[in-house]
């Protein structure tokens, strides 16, 4: 049984950017440092055997559902010239980092022109069901994958999500600020169901039932009751799914139709068959690399980006980067 660290690469790199203040050189350097440190810490803490960097393609979801992530373009268009220039520099550095891990380390790098990193991470887990997996990301979408052999490490907040709960870097339960008690363990299947019903504003996925309540009232079924009835497809399930509502353009929607659409978009195990085939092919054709002197190559990369703290510990940072994939 192997343990894999699966890096949501773009997410990790760009989230790190937002926790650093200073000029662009400082931000770039710290984004690289936090990304490498997140990988190192995940490998150290969970005794990982291999690192897999997962990259973005142009998502198939944009063809399946035209509004998907359309808000991202609107956000970019609204950037000031300074923000746009910073964004451009970050992507240039990110491309160099991708090139480094692909050609100068033994890490696996997964990318497909129509797949998102989320698809590849979920696909890797499904193709390695008997192994352990640590997802490095701040993205809440991965909660649906949490299982006894799958955990998520957030390198920005330094917390880990497991099927038993949320834990800080010392292994102590994370306290919910609202309740003052330990955050309860995630419920992956309910969280996915709620996401498919409520939609996802960050990805511009519309709700299947706007205004739906978590708990029902005397006269109306809520999400909790419908979810409890999901397997048997009884009264509560059908009562919710057969509801109809009209959007602001006067178009009528049936909840079941929009929910089914959102399952295809949001459930990382429910992609269309042709997409599933691409995921499996991308993963199953991975070849093991055998690159030598990874530590020396890392030191050269650090020198270019003035990462002295990483360079000073190059041997320890290089260790997870030189571990080969053993099929």
Annotated domain spans of the chain: 3-186+271-322, 188-266
What is the length of the chain? 327
Cα–Cα nearest to 3, from 215, 153, 213: 153
Per DSSP, the three-state class of 285 is coil
pLDDT at 73: 78
Q: Which CATH superfamily, name and number, covers 3-186+271-322? A: 5'-nuclease (3.40.50.1010)
The pTM is what?
A: 0.94
pLDDT at 79: 82
Q: Which residues in the chain come in under a pLDDT of 50?
A: none
pLDDT at 219: 85
pLDDT at 299: 96
pLDDT at 27: 86
pLDDT at 75: 79
Judge contact between 297 and 104, C-beta under 8 A. yes
Helix ranges restricted to H, the chain: 9-17, 24-46, 61-64, 70-77, 81-103, 117-127, 188-198, 223-228, 235-241, 255-266, 273-284, 294-304, 308-312, 314-322
**49: Cβ contacts below 8 Å, ≥ 6 apart:** 2, 3, 4, 323, 326
pLDDT at 52: 98
pLDDT at 259: 98
| Residue in the structure block whose two tokens are 């085939």 | 277
pLDDT at 106: 98
Q: State the number of CA atoms in the 13 A half-sphere of 25 facing the CB.
A: 4
**26: Cβ contacts below 8 Å, ≥ 6 apart:** 20
pLDDT at 21: 77
pLDDT at 306: 87
pLDDT at 81: 86
């Amino acid at each position: 049984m192997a343990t894999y660290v699966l890096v949501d690469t773009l997410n990790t790199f760009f989230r790190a950017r937002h926790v650093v203040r200073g000029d662009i050189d400082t931000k770039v350097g710290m984004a690289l440092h936090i990304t490498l440190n997140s990988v190192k810490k995940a490998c150290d803490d969970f005794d990982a055997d291999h690192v897999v960097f997962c990259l973005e393609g142009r998502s198939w979801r944009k063809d399946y559902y035209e509004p998907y992530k359309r808000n991202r373009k609107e956000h970019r268009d609204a950037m000031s010239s300074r923000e746009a220039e910073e964004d451009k520099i970050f992507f240039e550095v990110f491309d160099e980092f991708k090139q480094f891990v692909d050609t100068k380390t033994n890490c696996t790098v997964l990318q497909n022109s129509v797949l998102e990193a989320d698809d590849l991470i979920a696909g890797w887990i499904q193709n390695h069901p008997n192994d352990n997996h640590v997802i490095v990301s701040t993205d809440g979408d991965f909660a649906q994958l949490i299982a006894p052999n799958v955990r998520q490490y957030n390198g920005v907040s330094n917390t880990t999500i497991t099927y038993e709960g949320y834990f800080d870097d010392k292994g102590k339960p994370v306290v919910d600020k609202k309740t003052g008690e330990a955050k309860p363990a995630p419920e992956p299947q309910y969280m996915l169901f709620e996401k498919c019903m409520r939609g996802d504003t960050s990805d511009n996925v519309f709700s299947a039932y706007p205004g739906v309540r978590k708990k029902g009232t005397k006269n109306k079924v809520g999400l909790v009751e419908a979810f409890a009835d999901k397997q048997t497809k009884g009264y509560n399930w059908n009562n919710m799914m057969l509801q109809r509502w009209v959007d602001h353009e006067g178009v009528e929607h049936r909840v079941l139709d929009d929910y089914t659409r959102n399952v295809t978009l949001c459930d990382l195990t429910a992609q269309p068959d042709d997409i599933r085939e691409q995921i499996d092919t991308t993963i199953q054709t991975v070849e093991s690399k055998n690159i030598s002197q990874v530590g020396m190559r890392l030191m050269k990369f650090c020198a270019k980006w003035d990462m002295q703290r990483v360079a000073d510990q190059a041997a320890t940072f290089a260790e997870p980067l030189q571990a080969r994939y053993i099929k």
